[in-house]
Structure 1
Amino acid sequence: MNKKNYRGYQSYQYLESGVDFKNFELVQETTLFPEYIVPITEDQEARVQNILAENIVISLHEHTFKAPVNLNEFLEFRRWGRDFTGYEGLSRSGLDCVFDNLMNGTAMITSRGGWKWDDILYDLGMRLSDIAHQDMVIMGLTTDDIRRAKQNGQIAFVASIEGASMIENELDRLDILYGFGVRCMGIAYSEGNALGMGLKEKSGGLTEFGKQAVRRMNKLGMAIDVSHSNDQTSLDTIEVSDKPIFITHAGARALWNTNRLKPDDVIKACAAKGGVIAIEAAPHTTITQNHPKHNIESFMEHFEYCVQLVGIDHVSFGPDTLFGDHVAIHKALSEALSLSASKGNMPYEKVEYVEGLENPGDCFPNIVRWLVKHGYSDQDIAKVIGGNTMRVLEEVWCDPKKQGHGPNHK
């Protein structure tokens, strides 16, 4: 396995629980449901472990916090603004880099609506303060940080935000977020904003201000995500951006007709610009007619469809998991997360959990097992578990070593 240098740190252990902050009982980082391991032979398992050890492994979308056991306390828990990172779970995940999207949609320190500027900074700063007190997880600001994390048995944490509502009409807020370490930003969450339309909106695309924001993100070296944007906003963003973009957590609408998944033309446009679509595993998303019960088989059917559509160089994984009862959290937060808009009208078999893809600690070993079992080469597996993402980041992110050589440099 891709071993990590985890020394037992627990979030905010430098403070006194119950004195410095309210104590909530949090879930364990082991699986809450019957563990599922993709069945393979001993020789195949040895190959899986070698692939994880030898290649950079990146999840393009997760929420690596630990949820409270009592979900009736969830909104009160969020009002404290403290996400408790599942360090122990991450230590067995096989990941070298995780794009962590915090809990910005439920950052409700000052507003029940979420997505406010002060709340986002509070959410981000608190999380980074905790990360600064341990040494297994490091900030992922450059591709060199990701490589260094791999070499040193660490995990690069890429601070990401799913929608840009909080910048309002202030372009410079993108610079400020970049300064705070944010390296990936979505255009819109489910609701539209000043930049463009979310998946709730049936019409409309990227606004003129949105075009300015895309260009600013290009200049800053901030990756752009359109996972929750509607189709036209996604297409407009891809066209306006002079760099490849990400669809960090979605799937193919051709296999399951909901707004939460992307139609072929958006996936093709993303790939044509050099971008990557990463397959989503949050409960009741990447279902198919062949596999109406959401599990790793339906998830991988979306993967294979996208590979056939745009090629192995443009597909990866962003499972979008967390440590806790994901289905129950969705029920508790259905309004805040606009889940009704994302499900559409397709009937589906409800599950308690997504078998094989329950939390950030379990996903990638099972994904690699599935790929090995189904005959993918080591080279192609390396691409989809991290190589494709690294290629895009090399083009999109700012490389400090290459700065200072422009026309104004003396």
Structure 2
Amino acid sequence: MTVTLAADSGRLPEYPMELDSAQSQRVERLLAGTVISLHDHPIRLPDPLTAETWKLHSGQSADVFGGDAIVRSGLNVVLASALAEPDQRRLLSWAAAMRPQLLGPELSGAESLALAMRGEGSAVLLALEDLGSIGTDLVGIEELYRAGFRSAGLVYNTGNALGGGLGQSTDGGLTEPGRRAVAMLNDLHMLVDLSHVGDRTSIEAAALSTAPVVISHAGARSLWPSARMKPDDVLRAVADTGGVIGIEAAPGSTRVSADTTHDLDAVMAHVEYVAELVGVDHVGLGPDTFFGDHTQLYSAAGWSPQPVPGYERLALPDYVAGMENPAEAPRNAASWLVRRGWSDADIAKVLGANAARVLESVLR
């Protein structure tokens, strides 16, 4: 059976921004600058997406990168994440299959980044949701680095040998292997990502790191009481390293109320909140999107998003209007900020200048 893949454009109606001519010109100028996604899954999902098509795709097919749409979007750099995967061999195989699609010539992360910053193509750097696949064998981090990964989450929701995850009732903080893992990531010039990490472990990892750290895809818990969002002290801890918080748009994540739709307005409310809390120099975009039906992926793959206390029965939206895929997210974010009255300088920081500063500092 051949699995049909979702289109990388035109799958859903365009989000209506209703810009006037001057605003549209500002958006185009901004998109001609540095535009970076700190976290996306820029692959084409099966369409239709069912348990059967997902099983077939996962077992028989390599992921297909939506490269044409990325180039059209204005994105210079995308940190393309593997799905959470406990099997090291599968991660290494995924990287081997993706690298020819993503990177072209064999370049270091820094070399790809430098080319993209000069406007010479789009750099797509491989990233990891977490390091659960290595267990306590830190040699596995070096394997992942050699495979092309340049950013790594320490821990996924359920925690691992390195520290506590955001889904655990108790977060015991960084373990000794976790402390050594942070040091190794620093030494390898890999980005330390705290997106799925528990609060205590996040603060300890940020304090330990000798390089800026990131939350590549999350939002503010003060706006939405999900463990998947980050409390103010964690957001400040990341900013104190010189790092960046990428605001995500996975369905059901960056809400602001159970009574409102999860859409572009809700996502950008988290951008504004984080900018006000820690400064505009420490906020960016990490939409955490696919080309295809993200909401249906949860059902097809048998995954359950982290429940929100008091809102367990709140249904996921069919999609996040205005932030549905990796290609539309930066344009609509820029348009929203223009309409909101942000300055070009501050919009440029959110779109990519902040992330570029961190990537240029960390990658070698």
Q: Same fold (TM over 0.5)?
A: yes
1:216 paired residue number: 184
**Deviation string for 1:254-280 (max 9, x for gaps)?**
100011100011001111121111101
Match of 2:121 among 129, 154, 177: 154
* 3-state DSSP of counterpart to 1:71: coil
Tell whether 2:328 aligns with 1:362: yes
* 3-state DSSP of counterpart to 2:338: helix
Q: Measure the CA separation in 1 of the matches of 2:278 and 2:80.
A: 26
Q: Measure the CA separation in 1 of the matches of 2:120 and 2:22.
A: 25
Q: 1:34 corresponds to which letter in structure 2?
A: P
Identity of aligned residues (%): 37
Does the CA-based 8 Å contact 1:56-1:147 persist in structure 2? no
Rate the CA distance shift 1:372–1:139 in 2: closer, same or farther, 3 A: farther
2:147 paired residue number: 180
Does the CA-based 8 Å contact 2:36-2:355 persist in structure 1? yes
Which consecutive unaligned segments of at least 5 residues does structure 2 have? none
Rate the CA distance shift 1:273–1:365 in 2: closer, same or farther, 3 A: same
Q: Measure the CA separation in 1 of the matches of 2:285 and 2:307.
A: 19
Correspondence 1:1-400 to 2 at 5 A: 23-53=2-32, 55-72=33-50, 73-80=53-60, 82-103=62-83, 105=84, 114-131=85-102, 141-142=109-110, 144-203=111-170, 204-289=172-257, 292-335=260-303, 338-339=304-305, 341-346=306-311, 348=314, 350-398=316-364
Does the CA-based 8 Å contact 2:211-2:362 persist in structure 1? yes
Alignment: residue pair count: 360
Which consecutive unaligned segments of at least 5 residues does structure 1 have? 1-21, 106-113, 399-410
- With normalisation by structure 1, the TM-score equals 0.84
Does the CA-based 8 Å contact 1:306-1:315 persist in structure 2? yes
Task: Give the RMSD, CA atoms, in angstroms.
Answer: 1.9
Q: Measure the CA separation in 2 of the matches of 1:328 and 1:140.
A: 35
Q: 1:122 corresponds to which letter in structure 2?
A: S
**Residue 33 (structure 1) shift:** 2.3
**Deviation string for 1:111-157 (max 9, x for gaps)?**
xxx4211111111111113346x68xx85601x52231243541101
Rate the CA distance shift 1:126–1:397 in 2: closer, same or farther, 3 A: same
* Greater C-alpha radius of gyration: 1
Rate the CA distance shift 1:327–1:236 in 2: closer, same or farther, 3 A: same
Q: 1:307 corresponds to which letter in structure 2?
A: A
Q: 1:197 corresponds to which letter in structure 2?
A: G
* 3-state DSSP of counterpart to 2:356: helix
**Residue 348 (structure 1) shift:** 4.1
**Residue 377 (structure 1) shift:** 1.2
Does the CA-based 8 Å contact 1:26-1:69 persist in structure 2? yes
Q: 1:163 corresponds to which letter in structure 2?
A: D
Q: Which moved more, 1:281-290 or 1:94-103?
A: 281-290
Does the CA-based 8 Å contact 1:31-1:359 persist in structure 2? no
Does the CA-based 8 Å contact 1:293-1:349 persist in structure 2? no
Q: 1:375 corresponds to which letter in structure 2?
A: G
* 3-state DSSP of counterpart to 1:173: helix
**Deviation string for 1:81-118 (max 9, x for gaps)?**
50111122212211000000033x2xxxxxxxx42111
1:13 paired residue number: none
* 3-state DSSP of counterpart to 1:92: helix
Rate the CA distance shift 1:225–1:367 in 2: closer, same or farther, 3 A: same
Q: Measure the CA separation in 2 of the matches of 1:256 and 1:216.
A: 34
